[in-house]
Amino acid sequence: MHPNQIKISIAYNDEQQKGCWFDCLAPTGASIRRVLSDPQIQKRLPPFEWETLSVGLWGKAATLQTVLKAGDRIEIYAPLEVDPKTIRLLRAAQNPKERDKWRRKK
C-alpha cells in the first residue's frame, strides 16, 4: 500500500438485495464522493442516482463530502420504495385485531 493511500470498504445491496462488500484503496483525504466517482469502483457497483444517493459510515448517516479515514466502511443505502409509516398503516388497516391489542386499556 502506498503511503498516500488508506484501506476502506464499500458495502451495498446487489440487484437481488444480497449484501455485498469489497475492500479498496483510496487516496488519503478523499471524500465519499471522490471514491464512489472512481471509474474502477463504479465498475463494481450497481448503477445509482447521485441525486437520491444515501450513504453512511459504519451504520451512521454521512454526506458525500465526508472525508474518509483508514478502516472506514462506506455503506450505500438502497432508496426506500415505500415509506415505512405507510406500510404500518396499511398493515394495521388489514388486521384491526392486531392493531387493537396494542391500545392502552382505559
CA distances from 99 to 49, 89, 105 (A): 37, 10, 13
pTM for the model stands at 0.71
Q: Dump pLDDT digits (tens) for 68-102.
A: 999 999 999 877 677 778 878 887 778 766 656 65
Average confidence (pLDDT) over 16-39: 90
Cell numbers given for 80: 426506500
Q: CATH: 3.30.230.70, 1.10.1740.10, 3.10.20.30, 2.70.98.20. Which one for 5-79?
A: 3.10.20.30
pLDDT value of position 65 = 94
Rounded CA gap, 62 and 53, in Å? 11
Domain ranges of the chain: 5-79
Amino acid occupying residue 12: Y
Cell numbers given for 15: 440487484
